A and B are shown apart, each in its own frame.
Chain A
Amino acid sequence: MSIEWYLAVSAIVFSLGAVGVMTRRNPLVVLLCLELMLNGGNLALIAFSRMWGNGDGQILAIVVMTVAACEVCIGLGMIVAIYRRHLPIDVDELRELQG
């Protein structure tokens, strides 16, 4: 398959993740949708890496996975902390920092 198809799939996945981040209210699902966006970026990186026959894109994809793991760790820790304080687990209600 030509590289274009992979890029199209990556764009679709990224857009779906963006829609999820914008519309869902459960922070767990918002984190999952962030993962979707990162995965769309990863797929584009690896497709371009294959396009040029250069491994730098794969290294960058692995770094993105590392960052995603850290983000999951911090995000889930925050959700557990929110749950412990008996606050509603809902991004529309947690708006103390909204100003």
Chain B
Amino acid sequence: MSAVLFFLAAIGVIAGAIGVVVLRNPFFSVLALVAHLVSLAVLFLLLRSEFVAAVQVVVYAGAVMVLYVFVVAYVGGESDSIGERLRGVGSSQPPQVGSGLRFGGAILGVALLVELLIALIGTGLEATSGYGAGYVPGPKAFGTPAYIGNLLLTRFLLVFELASFLLLIGAVGGVVLARRRGGIGEDEPEVFVALDVPRPLGTGTTVEGVGSRTA
């Protein structure tokens, strides 16, 4: 049962990853990444880390991917031709990178994969071919929220606080980077204000007395 589930989830993980890399439309890439993340959460569950799997689905596949979808919808998910659409007439054409880059990238990727497999599996670690440490079910077992919370608030308290501070900096940085520059732009709609209505002279407002308004 667990083997069947593992292979289903692993196929989902790898197919999602291939979809992210291969698909031309960024919107479909985001959807492929969502499928990848959900399958990855199944793998996490098989590795008995329930809390991380739940966080993966809720935070990653839920919140972060929604951010991606919004930006893709805002920028326009027109595949790789976005650059060509925005490119002016007089600007220089990019250097032609095509099949050579793809080929070299694939070769480097395969080399990286072989190296990683040698490093991860070809090590002399006996335990990598085992099924992992023993697992005793219970309310505070390995991987439950109680277990993770206990670790986060005792041994890893500093890491926890630093991560929250990093999130704060990231949020502020995102807002600063993406904000509209120069205050209110010229494309803001005119707001109709009652004081701007032309008014006969001498009707006696403070503005006339100060003289800052040429009626």
Do A and B associate with each other?
Answer: yes
Binding site for B on A (CB under 8 A): 1-20, 22-26, 28-29, 31-33, 35-36, 39, 42-44, 46-47, 49-56, 58-59, 61-63, 65-74, 76-81, 83-84, 86-90, 92-93
Whether the pair A36, B86 counts as a contact (CB closer than 8 A) is no
Whether the pair A88, B86 counts as a contact (CB closer than 8 A) is yes
Whether the pair A1, B46 counts as a contact (CB closer than 8 A) is yes
**In the complex with contacts A1-B3, A47-B47, A76-B71, A90-B80 CB distance below 8 A:** yes
Binding site for A on B (CB under 8 A): 2-3, 6, 10, 13-14, 17-18, 20-21, 26, 29-30, 33, 36-37, 40, 43-44, 46-49, 51-52, 55-56, 59-60, 63-64, 67-68, 71-72, 74-75, 77, 79-80, 82-84, 86-87, 91, 94-95, 97, 101-102, 104-106, 108-110, 112-113, 116-117, 120-121, 127-135, 142-143, 147-148, 151-152, 156, 159, 163, 166-167, 169-171, 173-178, 180-181
**In the complex with contacts A1-B3, A92-B95, A8-B120 CB distance below 8 A:** yes
Which of A7, A39, A51 is close to B121, meaning CB atoms less than 8 Å apart?
A7
Beta-carbon nearest neighbor of A69 in chain B: B64
Residues in chain A near residue B181, CB distance under 8 A: 84
Whether the pair A76, B52 counts as a contact (CB closer than 8 A) is no
- 22 A-B pairs within 8 Å (CB atoms) are namely A3-B128, A4-B121, A9-B10, A22-B105, A23-B105, A24-B21, A28-B26, A28-B77, A33-B21, A42-B52, A51-B128, A54-B133, A55-B147, A69-B59, A76-B67, A76-B71, A76-B174, A80-B178, A83-B74, A84-B181, A87-B86, A90-B94
Whether the pair B166, A44 counts as a contact (CB closer than 8 A) is no
Instruction: Please provide the 6 A-B residue pairs with the shortest distance between their CB atoms, ordered closest to farther.
Output: A53-B133, A70-B170, A90-B83, A77-B177, A19-B109, A88-B83
Additional 9 contacts, C-beta under 8 A, given A3-B132, A44-B120: A3-B129, A12-B14, A22-B105, A36-B21, A43-B40, A51-B132, A53-B135, A65-B55, A79-B75
Which of B46, B109, B142, B175 is close to A15, meaning CB atoms less than 8 Å apart?
B109
Distance in Å: Cβ of B174 to nearest Cβ of chain A: 4
How far is B156's CA from A5's CA once the two chains are assembled, in angstroms? Answer: 29
Whether the pair A33, B20 counts as a contact (CB closer than 8 A) is yes
Residues in chain B near residue A10, CB distance under 8 A: 120
Chain A at the B interface: SS class = helix
Residues in chain A near residue B17, CB distance under 8 A: 12-13, 16-17, 36
Residues in chain A near residue B86, CB distance under 8 A: 86-89
How far is B170's CA from A31's CA once the two chains are assembled, in angstroms? Answer: 15
